[in-house]
Amino acid sequence: MGRWVVNSAWPYVNSLPHLGTFIHLLSADVYARYLRLKGEEVIAVTGSDEHGTPIEVEAIRKGVTPRQLTDQIHKQICELLEAYNIRLDNYTRTESPVHIRYTQELYRKVYENGYIYTQNVNLPYCETDKRFLPDRFVEGTCPHCGYEQARGDQCDSCGRVLDPLELIRPKCVFCGGTPTVKSSTHWFFDLPKFRDRLSTIVRENKQLPENARNFSLRWLEEGLKPRALTRDNKWGIPAPFPGAEGKTIYVWLEAVLGYVSASIEWAEKSGRPEAWKDFWFNQDTKNVHFIGKDNIPFHVIIFPALLLATHDPYVLPWQVSSTEFILFDGQKFSKSNKIGVWIDDALKVAPGEYWRYVLIAIRPEARDANFTWRDFESHVNTELNDVLGNFVHRTLTFVNNHFDSAVPKPGSLDEKDQAIKKLIEEAPTKVASLLDDFQLRNGLATIIELARAGNQYLSEREPWHLIKTDRGKAGTTLYFASELVRTLGILLSPFLPETTHQIQEQLNLNTTDNITWWDAGKPGLEPGHKIGKPTPLFHKITVSKQS
């Protein structure tokens, strides 16, 4: 049995997550469910990322305190995750006392180990607003790619991490004025000290997807710069260094530590406060992250460097499943321009289960994916409803109507029966090989292909005619079709937990049995077993009018 920590990018709670952010939480949920079904030991953790300048900006705009804003959004997210059946072991927040304590302890240790130093730095300062302008309080043109809306901390276009003073034509986000430059003492993390070790780690990690590997190697070759750790902001975690009163830790450099602190909180809540070490200090643990490509630097370079700087035996990220972007009608999701779909509005259009399906079906694993309402409707109506829903419903209805709800006994098998039997037997291995390679999208598509093959089997066999001429052969057909329904009910469960629960119920199988992934390839229905009442799993939807 393996041990896993499954992490996903923490939603930044200046607003509710849109689908492009939500897909990472969903991917983590699907993956954790898959691993558990295989009998692996898993903790899946994430939470709300709630410090930093964008939240301060949003709170000022709304006339509330940053904490009032994040309290409200955190609560809403927790409720929405329920509605989407996202069941993580811990969904916490960066205002959690455990996270604050852990962050301060870690940085004290890194400081004592000699990787933190102070320096007087020149920072953009707005004379009108009488404040320093760190990170997103200043905007301008990216010096690397020329993108004009680059923010002080990172360029959204080329993905590079920036220093606010690097920006060409900088502007204060509050008043639009040109900032002056003023000196302030700050604490720095000596990231360049880890360049050689990180280069080796990245080169030797064969798991990393191409985008993460290439991006990180390019960055390492360009040379790492020390990272400013502190900010002149009140909203954040107080910096624990001598003389750093009034300064807070930069949001990005504490939120990434949430993976560990959320695991510690999980251990404390489960009454075994040391249990997190079984995962994070055990070199056999596989540490997996589901993130967007814009988060690669923090997960492949900065987070591992911080863990190395503690001199504690942390397990470093093993897989960083960094997907490309989901575009909305060809454009980047943007809150300010109201482009995209947010997780609360999405539920007004279709149930969470439908979104789980469509988002994994378009998961941008190799290139950007384009979300359109027309495609959403087509995925639901053709794949979920016509292929999967229809196969399950026609099979179970036929057993109900023609075999008195009892799974028929198979007779002698011909070529077509053998083929469908083989398909069932090979399905768990075939899908697992894709999921083990983090190809969630192809894994799901392969399961839907099984349902398609089931429909084809029924159409070719025409049991509705056979039942009048060769009841035995019709029985064999329905036996294998029912077995395939059961197989689908297991393999789909990481993706569609609610639907598969319904399939189990309609098959009248005990849902509390310890079913494993591999059981999906073995016979599981005794001839004569009485099935339950078939009801349609899905319905068609019409949403094209929304676009």
- Residues forming contacts to Zn ion in the complex (CB under 5 A) are 126, 128-129, 142, 144-145, 147, 155, 157-158, 172, 174-175, 177
C-alpha of 95 from chain center: 21
Residue 158 or 168 having the CB closest to Zn ion:
158
Helix, strand, coil percent values for the chain (each to nearest 5) = 50, 15, 35
Q: Which residues pair with 41 in a beta bridge?
A: 3
CB within 8 Å of 351: residues ≥ 6 apart: none
CA distance 171 to 178: 5
Element (H, E) at 220: helix 210-222
Q: Give 428's contacts (C-beta < 8 A, 6+ positions apart).
A: 490, 491, 517, 518, 520, 521
Which CB sits closer to Zn ion, 127 or 414? Answer: 127
Q: Rounded to the nearest whole angstrom, what is the least distance from the CB of residue 147 to Zn ion in the complex?
A: 5
Distance separating alpha carbons of residues 263 and 270, to the nearest angstrom: 11
Among 125, 156, 165, 137, residue whose Cα is nearest residue 251: 137
Quote the least distance from Cβ 325 to Zn ion, whole Å.
15
Of the two residues 174 and 518, which places its CB atom closer to Zn ion in the complex? Answer: 174
CB of 133 to Zn ion, least distance (A): 7
148 or 274: whose CB is closer to Zn ion? 148
Q: Least Å distance between CB 350 and Zn ion?
A: 36
Please state the closest distance from residue 63 (CB atom) to Zn ion, in A. Answer: 19
Distance CA 375, CA 544 (A): 9
Nearer to Zn ion, 157 or 516 (CB): 157
For 276, residues 6+ apart whose C-beta sits below 8 A from its C-beta are 43, 260, 263, 264, 266, 267
Give the residue with the Cβ less far from Zn ion, 142 or 239: 142
Least distance between Zn ion and beta carbon 138 (Å): 9
CB 51 within 8 A of CB 13: no
Whether the Cβ atoms of residue 416 and residue 466 lie closer than 8 Å to each other: no
Distance of CA 380 to the CA centre of its chain: 21
Token pair of 336 as six digits: 């300010």
Residue 174 Cβ vs Zn ion, minimum distance, rounded to whole Å: 4
Asked if 457 and 481 touch (Cβ cutoff 8 Å), the reply is yes
Which is closer to Zn ion, CB of 161 or CB of 315?
161
- Closest contact distance (angstroms) between CB of 23 and Zn ion is 24
Which CB atom, from 170 or from 351, has the smaller least distance to Zn ion? 170
Q: State the DSSP H helix or E strand holding residue 464, giving kind and residue range, or none if neither.
A: helix 463-469
262-301: burial string, b at 16+ Cβ within 10 Å, e else: bbbbbbeeeeeeeebebbbeeeebbbbbbbbbbbbbbbbb
Nearer to Zn ion, 124 or 454 (CB): 124
Least spacing, CB of residue 297 vs Zn ion, in Å? 13
- For Zn ion, the closer of residues 8 and 154 by Cβ is 154
> Closest approach of Cβ 73 to Zn ion, in Å?
26
CA-to-CA distance for 9 and 259, rounded, in angstroms?
9
